[in-house]
Structure 1
Amino acid sequence: MRAILDVILLALDLYTWIIIASAILSWLVAFNVINVRNDVVRMIWNGVYQLTEPVLAPIRRRLPDLGGIDVSPIVLLLLIFLIQRVIGLYIYPNVF
């Protein structure tokens, strides 16, 4: 059972980095540092978008409109950190 929890924690860590990469990539595209017309950039953008959007879209629907500021990645990161803490402090020590 601990091996399963370790895999879940690892997956949450990887998803955290994907969310951070998505936020950085969106800033780079918004400020025209990188061009989405480039095939490699478009492929990375689509991949990151497809990995994060199914989770971020419901969060965006529930959050109030803040203009041009998207805080849904921050909310998702806080939820991931909460899940990791709950697993690490309460579930993991009680599994044999």
Structure 2
Amino acid sequence: MLLIADILLLLLNVAWFFAIAHVIMSWLINFGVLNMNQPIIAQMWDGLNRILEPAYRPIRRVLPQTGGLDLAPLVFFIGIIIARMIVVRTFYTGF
């Protein structure tokens, strides 16, 4: 059972770091530090969007419109934190 918990925590950590990279990259693109005309930047951005959009889309449907402010990554981070707490308390307590 601990192996399953370790795998779940690993997947949650990977999702966490992908989301962090997506947020930082979006800031750098919006502030003009990264240029989307560079092929490697465009490929990285497209890859992160393809990975994270399926997770962000249901969150965006539920959240109210806030103009230019996207709160989906924040809700995603909160969801990952809650999932980590559930996994840790379910599998690691009581041993």
Q: Normalized against structure 1, the TM-score is what? A: 0.92
Letter in 2 for 1:26: S
How far apart, CA to CA, are the structure 1 residues paired with 2:7 and 2:90? 17
Alpha-carbon RMSD across the aligned residues, in angstroms, is: 1.3
Point out where structure 2 has 5 or more consecutive residues left out of the alignment.
Answer: none
Letter in 2 for 1:14: V
The answer to whether 1:16 aligns with 2:16 is yes
Tell me the number of residue pairs that the alignment of Structure 1 and Structure 2 aligns. Answer: 95
Aligned residue in 2 for 1:4: 4
Point out where structure 1 has 5 or more consecutive residues left out of the alignment.
Answer: none
Aligned residue in 2 for 1:73: 73
Question: The residue matched to 2:92 in structure 1 has which SS?
Answer: helix
How far apart, CA to CA, are the structure 2 residues paired with 1:22 and 1:82? 20
Q: Normalized against structure 2, the TM-score is what? A: 0.93
1:15-56 CA-partner distances (Å, limit 9, x unpaired): 101101101111111111111110110111111111111100
